[in-house]
Amino acid sequence: MKTKKIIIDPITRIEGHLRIEVEIDEDNIIREAWASGQLFRGIETILQGRDPRDAGLIAQRICGVCTNAHYRASISAVEEAYGIVIPPNAEIIRNLVTLSLFVQDHIVHYYHLHSLDYVDITSALGASCAKAQEEAHRYCASPYRNSVEHLENVQEKLTNYVKAGRLGLFANGYWGHEAYRLTPEQNLIQMNHYLEALTIQRDISKAIAIFAGKTPHPQNLVVGGVTSVAEILNPQRLNDFLFIIKEVREFISRAYIPDMVMMIDAYRESIHTGEGRASGNFMGCGGYRFSHGGTLFESGVIKGHNFDRIDPFDATKITEEASRSWYENDAPLSPYEGETTPFYTDLNDDGSLKTHGKYTWVKAPRYEGEVMEVGPLARMMIGYSKNSPAIVPYMEAFMKRSTMKLIDFSTTIGRNAARAVEAQLCCDYLFDMMSDLIENVKYFDETTWSKYVFESLPQSSQGAGIFEVPRGVLGHFVKIEGGKIANYQAVVPTTWNASPKDARNQRGAYEASLIGLRLADPTQPLEVLRTIHSFDPCLACAVHVIDATGKELARYKIATP
């Protein structure tokens, strides 16, 4: 069989530096795929030897997109190591910020990072605004900002833009590609919301900033709790937060969810063919406690799409290996023991990946030796299968509206649908958590920090902060010796999804999801982008390394071919 290799680098509209290489046959069907992280920074190395209390602010810089997630996980890992339990108010504030980030992140992902794979901006210019208004009503009784005048404005803005001759960000898109299915009117509706979503994501950021000072890179956490005590005592600030979330909820139910249903309608065929389906292994760690008991997310492990059997999640079964990654020591190790030193074997002379050897800075995490997919899809699958009262009503409502079955979510489009449902339910539960906070304050619980005397904390210990964050399961693992960080490791959602092959040649989730995909035009690999984007990659997070010996921190080797 004659095959041909295609390199897509950079993958844009993601965080970080990702390359995808695929091998296609004569029918343009992908037979093999390699995902490669192309940047190494070594934040974990930088963390070594520092005061454990300082880890948060530096670990946070692992990523500017999931920024709060790393901040929290890092501080929680240190708290666990020291046995510090944070007060309920602190946990609520942390949850409010994290869940707001879920919503913000999901909206930005769908509209700004992903929708251009499906929405043809040039087609929207030819739409009839009157028809578009009608079309929107097919998916929602009161569509978001849907007057003809408004749509005309949007169209005019876009037309002027295109006429001006400089397409800027939209230059060299895949406009006119045969894989675009939406009608001109549908494209206009989605473009309308693309622009509105810019405002919405800005507003949610304001809500986050109320408790966290700013975003990206919030600054309100310390080991033992949160610093933003004055905010919870200020009814105006609490009110501001609620009103923003209320606005956002409107947007989600009147724009995001209907747009997603529209997308499902248009691409139903790809759902039926299972486009973008990976191994069917899903993992979730659960979390976000409700005051009345239970948690927002369920923990568990699903293998091979077997929704009837949910194994309990056990963090000690996580290993990482580096047989195909640019690090020394190929053997699988637990994150606490992670011992890896950069071992860069370079690219081929023509710049392509050495696909038979090591080919990425991303390591290969495995659960009981198996590849796992993490993220909103995994959470919705596990929550639904475990009959979670927090998840089931939302999933059922959406499944009914879109006539999707559970297995349909395990596709490129389905991943996005799961993300939209999650944004919707997170938004709702933010209100619950806020009322818990108000109740506490009302009954004079103003505590936001658990007191400890640092000098009397153990000199040696270890701890983990494991959380569901927008892209999946995030674990930060810290080992403390002599009062300093001896070892630090982050096992990040994108590390799971963007994982390379392992010693047993099991493909990572990105790689697996691409196999069997047919490209309409190999010079414009839009289908690859769609599937990869559906995971919401975040590469800055994924690439990391720790040198347990702590001695040779900047050692690297270049192997001779």
What residues from 290 to 309 belong to the interface with another protein (CB under 8 A)?
none
Count residues contacting another protein (CB under 8 A)?
A: 99
Residue 503's contacts (CB-CB under 8 Å, 6 or more residues apart) are 321, 323, 330
Q: Please give the Cα distance from 112 to 547 (Å, whole number).
A: 37
SS3 185: helix
What residues from 8 to 27 belong to the interface with another protein (CB under 8 A)?
8-17, 19
Kindly indicate which of the ranges 168-176, 248-256, 294-302, 411-419 contains the residues binding another protein, using the contact rule CB under 8 A: 168-176
Q: What is the DSSP letter of 520?
A: S
DSSP 207-218: HHHHHHSSSSS-
Q: How far is the CB of 315 from another protein (least distance, A)?
A: 25
- The answer to the question of residue 284 lying near another protein (CB under 8 A) is no
Could you give the angle at the alpha carbon of 293 between the alpha carbons of 288 and 296, nearest 5°?
30
- The answer to the question of residue 536 lying near another protein (CB under 8 A) is no
Kindly indicate which of the ranges 198-206, 264-272, 312-320, 502-510 contains the residues binding another protein, using the contact rule CB under 8 A: 198-206
Nearer to another protein, 228 or 410 (CB): 228
What residues from 352 to 381 belong to the interface with another protein (CB under 8 A)?
352
Q: How far is the CB of 17 from another protein (least distance, A)?
A: 6
Q: Please give the Cα distance from 272 to 334 (Å, whole number).
A: 38
Nearer to another protein, 195 or 407 (CB): 195
**Joined tokens for residue 46:** 């930088």
Nearer to another protein, 73 or 310 (CB): 73
The answer to whether the bond into 312 is cis (omega within 30° of 0) is no
Per-residue contact flags (x/-) with another protein for residues 506 to 525, judged by CB under 8 A: -----------------xxx
Report the residue from 3, 142, 147, 199 that binds another protein according to the rule CB under 8 A: 199
Which residues, listed in sequence order, are joined to residue 360 by a DSSP beta bridge? 325
DSSP 337-399: T----B-B----TTS---TTS--BSB-EEEETTB--B-SHHHHHHHHHHTT-TTTHHHHHHHH
Q: Which helix (H) or strand (E) holds 192?
A: helix 184-212
Nearer to another protein, 29 or 441 (CB): 441
Per-residue contact flags (x/-) with another protein for residues 40 to 79, judged by CB under 8 A: xxxx-xx----x-xx--xx--xxxxx-x------------
Is 461 buried (19+), middle (13-18) or exposed (0-12) by CB count in 10 A? middle
Report the residue from 107, 132, 208, 318 that binds another protein according to the rule CB under 8 A: 208
Nearer to another protein, 218 or 414 (CB): 218
- The answer to the question of residue 186 lying near another protein (CB under 8 A) is no
Kindly indicate which of the ranges 71-79, 215-223, 301-309, 380-388 contains the residues binding another protein, using the contact rule CB under 8 A: 215-223
Instruction: Tell me, rounded to whole angstroms, the distance of Cα 333 from its chain centroid.
Output: 25
- The answer to the question of residue 350 lying near another protein (CB under 8 A) is yes
**Joined tokens for residue 202:** 């800005």
Q: Please give the Cα distance from 467 to 286 (Å, whole number).
A: 7
- The answer to the question of residue 85 lying near another protein (CB under 8 A) is no
Report the residue from 230, 236, 308, 456 that binds another protein according to the rule CB under 8 A: 230
What are the phi and psi torsion angles at 88 (to 5°)? Answer: -55, -40
Per-residue contact flags (x/-) with another protein for residues 398 to 427, judged by CB under 8 A: ------------------------------
Report the residue from 4, 137, 138, 202 that binds another protein according to the rule CB under 8 A: 202
Residue whose token pair is 């095959």: 3
What residues from 423 to 482 belong to the interface with another protein (CB under 8 A)?
446-449, 451
Residue whose token pair is 């999931």: 66
SS3 487: strand
Report the residue from 333, 480, 529, 548 that binds another protein according to the rule CB under 8 A: 529
Nearer to another protein, 215 or 281 (CB): 215
Q: How far is the CB of 223 from another protein (least distance, A)?
A: 9
